[in-house]
Structure 1
Amino acid sequence: MKVTRKIITFLLIIYIEITNILTLNALAASNDSKWPKGPSVTAESAILMDVNTGTILFEKNPHKQLYPASITKIMTTLLALENSNLSDTVTYSKSAIYNLRYDSSKIYANVGEKLTVEQSLYGIMLASAGDCSNGIAEHISGSIEAFADLMNKKAEDLGCQNTHFVNPHGMPDDNHYTSAYDMALITKAALQYEQFRKIAGAKKYTIPPTNLQKESRYLTNHHKMLIKSNYTYEGCEGGKTGYTVASGYTLVTYAKRGDMELLCVILKDAATEHYTDTAKLFDWGFKNFKSLNISSYLSENQLSNYTLFDKAALKADDGADYVIEIDKNSSILIPKTASFDDLKPTFIKNYNKDTSIPTIRTISYTFSGKEVGSVAVNFIKISNSVEDNYNNLDNAEISIKNSASDVNYNKKRSISFIKIGLTIFVVIIFVSVTYLIIKKRK
């Protein structure tokens, strides 16, 4: 009997261990393996983001604090577009011109020289001019210190948590740092301005003669993936380069192919490797991901599964009828091997029950635990009638969660089949061994 007990115990241990291993493997295979494996990069920190949705496709030390060097000037340009007019006149002071290190890039503005904000921004983004950066900072805030405070306030508003600026140009300072993720947030915000895209994507620009400069200044973009070079990249639309000894090579680039626009940030890389790393990430992103329009997909395939999108009108406390409409421009970015059914929706409530009019809600989607985009839900008034609409909205949320649980149910069911098979296998072995022991004793 002791032998039989030992055998039973041994078989049970094997059963438990095998079940755990297969369960974990099945869960891992159903999630992480679906997200494409990214390339190897030499940069100390890197990130690849979808501009439209903010989805992070690739990351390496994305929140590590590092020196940004001249990609700082993206924030400077963003603030200039938000706080001044392109036709405004910037008068360059002595401090703006001489409050720079000897090795800073410049357009060599003269004390008292007048340039427009637009001309100064081309100097910043194409020539990486520190004197233009200082001139813009003083024009907007009155001093470099006050402008740095504005930079930090903007970074905080954008959700940056590992960024602190002390100057508008990015020359080294122990208290001047950022992260790849934060720079992606800053650049994404700047890309909402068409004028930023025009300036950052310009290959050349000419500043005509000014009040103190008789000759035109001819500027050429430093970004080698944008201009004709050994690193020219198809679809590259613009960006900003950076380098100091302390920071190494830094690079921000955005590129577009078809309906996808990707943003890449590289921090602390080796010479030329910042270009090859960026190209690797772009190639991988464009190859492995696709854009999916939520509105068209739902209207064609998923409408019946979502109570939220029933044709029946909702009625608010003010007596008005409402119908629900999906933002037709909303899209998400998912791996090409994935489908809409693989997504997990989360219904976000952002209405106030104290008001009588339903407001916009959002459905956020995740894939393999990663956020891949969201869609806005709008309420359109159509008539007058009195009825509480909030219960309908809550039922809609339940419906969405139920439809999303179908995929998880199928995964759990496949794991259950594995366990059942293992149980049968162990029982057969147990019966066989028991029979042999009894037969031997007889």
Structure 2
Amino acid sequence: MKRSRWNLIILLSLAIAFTSVFGTAYAAEPEEENTVEEETPEQKAEQEAYEMPVQTNEVKKWPKGPSTYGEAGIVMDVGTGAILYAKNIDEHEYPASITKVLTALVALENGQLTDEVTFTHDSVAFLQPGDSSIGMKEGDVVSLDEALHATLLASANEAAYAVGESVGRNAGHDYSWFLEQMNARCKELGGENSNFANTNGLHDENHYTCARDMALIGRELFKHPEFFDIVQTLNYTIPATDTCEEHIFQQKHKMLMPDNSNYYEYAAGGKTGYTSDALSTLITMAEKDGIQLVCVVLRTHGSNIYSDTKNLLDYGFNSFKKVEVAGAEKSKDVEEIIEGDEGGYVMLPDGIEFKDLDMKLKADESARGEAVLTYSYKGYALGSARAKLSKSYIKEHSAKIKAAGTKDNREKSSKKKSVFAAAVIAAGILILVFYISRIIKKQRRRRRRRRRR
């Protein structure tokens, strides 16, 4: 009896121990599944941006460019305007504070660095808590040089407004005129997908741009060494004067800071940007071994703005080479390449040979015997050159060239005749109006005489 009880106790103990061990192991599986973190909306958006297609990667033989956490990006060669990397480059995006590089361009083209910039009520009253500012006050007066340092280095929104307002006023206009110049200048440079509603980049639904347009603006800035003198400054002080107190501020573009982990030795200039609607934006100019590049990244998710830009610039410098057209062009239509404003070189992608490029020749009627050669690959322009045409080409196409010149002369003659005819008609109308007015006056006189009688 006792033995049976002990056996029963032993069996119950074993059963409890067995259930405890294996039951715990069984229950642990769903607990492990519950500890897996779910992907946040921000992480999902970041991954989706990274997986967006890169259009240049879809071009046959074109060197594969890196993926980015930005929804749009471009790398453009300054000398030729060749697009080396393209990811949604024409999509409308909010630029945020990289707007200020266009503000600087228009200011430099329409003003002098010694011009006065006055901070009016309008230039400071719009600021909201959290807006980037250096604390300028109504009535402050500084030079355009000082105001541009504040605009480009400290990203001071009130300084950008004051620059536009003062440059406009100094030109005999106002702030609205300056905005018109910003939009007109962008279009003149080839930008077709932008509308700038302010000078600082603060969010406005009607204030947008695209990667291509911003790269074109950055390319044009290479003509202004004073811009690079400003954006390469690490620390700057606006000294105290009778019209302004002292202001001290620093560089914000980390790729231009030698002591920063994001420093990029080939970076020559640029501008940062961020709003909650635009996310991170960045424009960076760089130069290496005689090649100048502009890189623009828009709507970048996470903290990837600098790593993406570095990867894109490295890609541009390492995957393309500068090839002079002289010596490479073997067409029987070309006698020699002329050094000039057309660049005279192409940006040749790795894996693609010069002979693989499509060349278009356009004879220049204004300079007989010369032509402009443009080179492209699968629709992507890579450069151009000016050339002296061969005698065989001139002989073979002389009739067409002469006909084109004759047609051009006929069009000019036709225009002159049209202008002359319009002038004759206008003169006739004036004479007719003159005589009609005289007749009316005579009739009035006659009526007055009759009334007197």
Structure-2 residue corresponding to 1:75: 102
Residues 211 and 298, structure 2, Cα contact 8 Å, conserved in 1: yes
Of 95, 109, 115, which aligns to 2:136?
Answer: 109
Residues 34 and 338, structure 1, Cα contact 8 Å, conserved in 2: yes
Structure 1 position 267 matched with structure 2 position 298: yes
TM-score, normalized by length of structure 1?
0.71
Question: Hey, what's the Cα distance between the residues in 2 that align with 1:394 and 1:220?
Answer: 62
Question: Hey, what's the Cα distance between the residues in 2 that align with 1:359 and 1:156?
Answer: 32
Structure-2 residue corresponding to 1:155: 186
1:378 offset after TM fit, Å?
A: 6.5
In 2 relative to 1, CA 209–61 (structure 1 residues): closer, same or farther, beyond 3 Å?
A: same
Structure-1 residue corresponding to 2:212: 181
Q: Match of 1:266, as an amino acid?
A: V
Matched position secondary structure for 1:53: coil
Residues 112 and 144, structure 2, Cα contact 8 Å, conserved in 1: yes
Of 207, 222, 225, which aligns to 2:252?
Answer: 222
**Counterpart mapping for 1:355-370 below 5 A:** 358=368, 361-370=371-380
1:390 offset after TM fit, Å?
A: 5.8
Structure-1 residue corresponding to 2:160: 133
List alignment gaps of at least 5 residues for structure 2.
Answer: 1-57, 402-453
Structure 1 position 346 matched with structure 2 position 360: yes
Q: Match of 1:66, as an amino acid?
A: E
Structure 1 position 210 matched with structure 2 position 237: no
Aligned residues: 337
Residues 369 and 394, structure 2, Cα contact 8 Å, conserved in 1: no
Structure-1 residue corresponding to 2:265: 234
Structure 1 position 337 matched with structure 2 position 344: no
Structure-2 residue corresponding to 1:295: 326
Residues 234 and 250, structure 2, Cα contact 8 Å, conserved in 1: yes
In 2 relative to 1, CA 361–104 (structure 1 residues): closer, same or farther, beyond 3 Å?
A: farther
Residues 218 and 285, structure 2, Cα contact 8 Å, conserved in 1: no
Question: Hey, what's the Cα distance between the residues in 2 that align with 1:219 and 1:394?
Answer: 64
Structure-2 residue corresponding to 1:256: 287
Matched position secondary structure for 2:223: coil
Question: Hey, what's the Cα distance between the residues in 2 that align with 1:340 and 1:34?
Answer: 13
Question: Hey, what's the Cα distance between the residues in 2 that align with 1:221 and 1:90?
Answer: 21
**Counterpart mapping for 1:9-28 below 5 A:** none
Matched position secondary structure for 1:295: coil
Structure-2 residue corresponding to 1:325: 338
Residues 338 and 385, structure 2, Cα contact 8 Å, conserved in 1: no
Q: Match of 1:70, as an amino acid?
A: S
**Counterpart mapping for 1:28-67 below 5 A:** 32-67=59-94
1:391 offset after TM fit, Å?
A: 4.6
1:195 offset after TM fit, Å?
A: 1.2
Q: Match of 1:258, as an amino acid?
A: D
Question: Hey, what's the Cα distance between the residues in 2 that align with 1:247 and 1:169?
Answer: 13
Structure 1 position 90 matched with structure 2 position 117: yes
Matched position secondary structure for 1:182: helix
Of 371, 383, 406, which aligns to 1:373?
Answer: 383
Question: Hey, what's the Cα distance between the residues in 2 that align with 1:218 and 1:325?
Answer: 50
Question: Hey, what's the Cα distance between the residues in 1 that align with 2:61 and 2:335?
Answer: 29
In 2 relative to 1, CA 339–115 (structure 1 residues): closer, same or farther, beyond 3 Å?
A: same
Question: Hey, what's the Cα distance between the residues in 2 that align with 1:213 and 1:92?
Answer: 10
Matched position secondary structure for 1:44: strand
Residues 307 and 395, structure 1, Cα contact 8 Å, conserved in 2: no
1:151 offset after TM fit, Å?
A: 1.2
Q: Match of 1:95, as an amino acid?
A: D
Question: Hey, what's the Cα distance between the residues in 2 that align with 1:97 and 1:378?
Answer: 57
In 2 relative to 1, CA 82–335 (structure 1 residues): closer, same or farther, beyond 3 Å?
A: same
Question: Hey, what's the Cα distance between the residues in 2 that align with 1:77 and 1:238?
Answer: 13
1:191 offset after TM fit, Å?
A: 1.9
Question: Hey, what's the Cα distance between the residues in 2 that align with 1:326 and 1:334?
Answer: 19
Question: Hey, what's the Cα distance between the residues in 2 that align with 1:115 and 1:378?
Answer: 52
Question: Hey, what's the Cα distance between the residues in 2 that align with 1:70 and 1:150?
Answer: 18
1:193 offset after TM fit, Å?
A: 1.2
User: Percent identity, aligned pairs only?
Assistant: 33
Question: Hey, what's the Cα distance between the residues in 2 that align with 1:222 and 1:99?
Answer: 23
Residues 335 and 388, structure 2, Cα contact 8 Å, conserved in 1: no
Q: Match of 1:242, as an amino acid?
A: G
Question: Hey, what's the Cα distance between the residues in 2 that align with 1:394 and 1:264?
Answer: 44
Residues 35 and 368, structure 1, Cα contact 8 Å, conserved in 2: no
Matched position secondary structure for 1:159: coil
Question: Hey, what's the Cα distance between the residues in 2 that align with 1:209 and 1:56?
Answer: 45
1:284 offset after TM fit, Å?
A: 1.5
Residues 250 and 268, structure 1, Cα contact 8 Å, conserved in 2: yes
In 2 relative to 1, CA 49–213 (structure 1 residues): closer, same or farther, beyond 3 Å?
A: same
Structure-2 residue corresponding to 1:424: none
List alignment gaps of at least 5 residues for structure 1.
Answer: 1-30, 311-323, 380-386, 398-442
The one-character-per-residue Cα deviations of 1:314-336 (angstroms, maximum 9, x if unpaired) are xxxxxxxxxx7343952210113
Structure-2 residue corresponding to 1:119: 146
1:296 offset after TM fit, Å?
A: 4.6
Residues 308 and 393, structure 1, Cα contact 8 Å, conserved in 2: no
Residues 172 and 244, structure 1, Cα contact 8 Å, conserved in 2: yes
Q: Match of 1:110, as an amino acid?
A: K
1:361 offset after TM fit, Å?
A: 3.2
Point out 4+ residue stretches in structure 1 off by more than 4 angstroms. Answer: 389-397
Q: Match of 1:224, as an amino acid?
A: K
Residues 327 and 377, structure 1, Cα contact 8 Å, conserved in 2: no
Matched position secondary structure for 1:65: coil
Root-mean-square deviation over aligned CA pairs: 2.6
In 2 relative to 1, CA 100–147 (structure 1 residues): closer, same or farther, beyond 3 Å?
A: farther
Segment of structure 1 superposing worse, 101-110 or 171-180: 101-110
Q: Match of 1:306, as an amino acid?
A: K
Q: Match of 2:154, as an amino acid?
A: A
Structure-1 residue corresponding to 2:408: none
Structure-2 residue corresponding to 1:167: 198
Structure-2 residue corresponding to 1:434: none
Question: Hey, what's the Cα distance between the residues in 2 that align with 1:155 and 1:225?
Answer: 26
In 2 relative to 1, CA 349–210 (structure 1 residues): closer, same or farther, beyond 3 Å?
A: farther
Question: Hey, what's the Cα distance between the residues in 1 that align with 2:96 and 2:398?
Answer: 49
Structure-1 residue corresponding to 2:334: 308
Structure 1 position 99 matched with structure 2 position 130: no
1:48 offset after TM fit, Å?
A: 1.1
In 2 relative to 1, CA 277–98 (structure 1 residues): closer, same or farther, beyond 3 Å?
A: same
Question: Hey, what's the Cα distance between the residues in 2 that align with 1:221 and 1:254?
Answer: 15
Q: Match of 2:135, as an amino acid?
A: Y
